[in-house]
Amino acid sequence: MEVTNFLNSVAIGIIHKMNNEFDSHDFIMQLIKDHERKYIELLYSYKNSSGIFRAFHQQIGIYLSKNANSLSIIKIRQDFSENIKDYDSKNQKWSKIL
């Protein structure tokens, strides 16, 4: 719930900084740049997960999917891009609704 509340307060501002097309990894990297301390606090709350980053980032992706209409974004396709651990992984590509 805390992740949702936090993203409710910052997601639109982050999306405004994104290119017209972006992926979930881009969103996460901008989130870290803009809100590093809160990102670390929330990441730490997943410390007992077997894949800490994956579990937390999955929640961010779910948030984007569930709130796509209110965030004025649409899914384009699944694609591979570099994640925070410096290797390619599959994630969602998004487009802003202009």
pLDDT tens for each residue of 39-98: 999 999 999 999 999 999 999 999 999 999 999 999 999 999 888 888 888 999 999 998
Number of other residues whose CB lies within 10 A of the CB of residue 17? 12
Does the structure show a pLDDT above 80 at 1? no
Amino acid at 49: S
User: 62 is written with which tokens?
Assistant: 């779910």
Contact 71, 61 (CB under 8 A): no
Domain range holding 21?
2-96
Number of other residues whose CB lies within 10 A of the CB of residue 41? 12
**How many domains in the chain?**
1
